Structure 1
Amino acid sequence: MRDTVAVSGDGLHELADRAQALVPADGRAILGIVGAPGSGKSTLADQLLAHLRRRCGDEWVAHVPMDGFHLADAQLRRLGSLDRKGAPDTFDADGYAHLLARIKAAPDEWIYVPGFERDLEQPIAAALVVPPAARLIITEGNYLLLDTPSWRAAWAAVDEVWSVLTEPAVRQQRLVARHIHFGKDPDVAREWVLTVDEPNAVLIDQGTDRADLFVHNAADGWRVAARR
């Protein structure tokens, strides 16, 4: 694990500084943000993207969400895994790893990447793009630090990984609200959180100590510390 910095209060500006410092003078860098479902990793990624675009220009930073590598429901039905959607094996981990490696190896190419449509709960091909001008790529997802061959290959392409930590009760409340918002019955939403999301959170936590930085999603902003 690399040395960490200490940031107090709403540390978005300091986090943006750290992200910007990852970029070499003559190349590009990939920042990974991991966290359990409902931890706030997508929120942090979105805030960093907006902050760095204001600071450095729209094309200086690009977004590659791991959610774009969800297997479509048609494949999950074929595999009998639709009721486990969101588990590690319901993603195309190899495709994700290959894409991250290509982003590093081919900086002069326009590289189209999949996104994820929350209303449909489906991946969308070529929804996003990494332009040649992009110096920093932010990718966020649950399993970037999972210790399996495919996920290790994805991790190998990333320059630094930050782990977003949130109180479990807060995470679970957010997840239940999210599932209800996107169409689940409240009882079904609560059951899904307990039987699908929380076992996934346990898996994610097993890799957390490999992160380069811990970012606490606190009530008063982002707080960063060397230890959990």
Structure 2
Amino acid sequence: MRPHRVETSLAELAARIRRRADGQSGRFVLGVAGPPGAGKSTLARGIRDELNIAAGHARAEVAPMDGFHLTNAQLRAMGDLARKGEPDTFDTAGYVESLRLLRESPLGVTVPWPTYSRELHEPVPGGAVFDRQTIVVTEGNYLLLDEGKWADVRPLLDEAWYLDVPRPIIEKRLLRRHIRGGRTAGDARAKVENSDMLNARLVEHTRSRADLVLRKYGTGYRID
């Protein structure tokens, strides 16, 4: 028997979060997880924009996990630059601490959040700033991982979504991303095969910990 699927728009997904966040004291945290190349950043920004349009002010902001990449200098010193993007190449403790700070800080208190530059291939300290936003949309590969310090992330999420994409589509997207980022076609292929897809297979096992599993469908999404 095929699983039941429901199609929904970005606006409807944002309305779901708005309903859940209304009346909650403090900040509401939505986590968007999924394999590399799934489109998590696009979904997170879309939800943020829909929420802000509906509110008429900056009610939501994105807090990307990628801002907690270790720097290239740190990874090079550890001999791990080629493994960049794997679970232990992030400042996981820093991510958890910052996520907890966002939840616990009173509205109006400024909380800086690092972002990631795909041009520089480095984290950017304070690339995003939270103050009066009541909804946080955090996105990244390992939000639902239950190993090591990553296991501390899920309890900090009021709701978690998993964005599912077939592996062949992910591979094509990642190849294009790496080539646009300056890698040769051969280097891009090696990175995808030897690192990215290993990460993707690891992340696939976390989908059962999500409240919703989504797939892109036309201009909206399909709930599995």
Using structure 1 for the length normalisation, give the TM-score. 0.92
Q: Is the 8 A contact 1:11 1:224 kept in 2?
A: no
Which letter maps to 2:145? L
Q: Which secondary structure does the structure 2 equivalent of 1:64 belong to? A: strand
Change in CA separation of 1:188 and 1:203 when aligned onto 2, cut-off 3 Å: same
Secondary structure of the 1:187 match is: helix
Rounded Cα–Cα distance in structure 2 between residues aligned with 1:134 and 1:146:
27
The offset of 1:58, in angstroms, is 3.7
Which 10-residue stretch deviates more, 149-158 or 202-211? 149-158
User: What's the offset of the Cα at 1:195?
Assistant: 0.7
Tell me the equivalent position of 2:124: 124
Q: Secondary structure in 2 aligned to 1:62?
A: strand
Question: Paired residue for 1:168?
Answer: 167
Question: Which residue number corresponds to residue 95 of structure 1?
Answer: 94
Deviations 1:169-227 (A, max 9, x none): 111101100100110101211121111100001111111111110011234531112xx
Q: Alpha-carbon deviations, 1:68-102, whole Å to 9, x = none?
A: 00000011011111000000000001100011111
Runs of 4+ in structure 1 off by over 2 angstroms are 218-221
User: Gapped runs of 5+ residues in structure 2?
Assistant: none
Question: Does structure 1 residue 148 correspond to structure 2 residue 157?
Answer: no
SS class of match (1:137) = strand
- Following TM superposition, by how much is the alpha carbon of 1:145 offset from its aligned partner in structure 2, in angstroms? 0.7
Deviation at 1:107, TM superposition (A): 2.6
Residue in structure 1 matched with residue 31 of structure 2 by the alignment: 32
Cross-structure match for 2:178: 179
SS in structure 1 at match of 2:153: helix
- The aligned amino acid for 1:43 is T
**Whole-Å separation in 2 of the counterparts to 1:68 and 1:58:** 25
Equivalent residue pairs, number: 219
Superposed displacement of residue 59, structure 1:
2.2
Amino acid corresponding to residue 141 of structure 1 in structure 2: G
Mapped contact 1:76–1:90 kept (Cα < 8 A): yes
Match for residue 9 of structure 2 among 8, 11, 16: 11
Counterpart amino acid of 1:16? A
CA distance in 2, matches of 1:182, 1:218: 27
Structure 1: 5+ residue runs without aligned partners? Answer: none
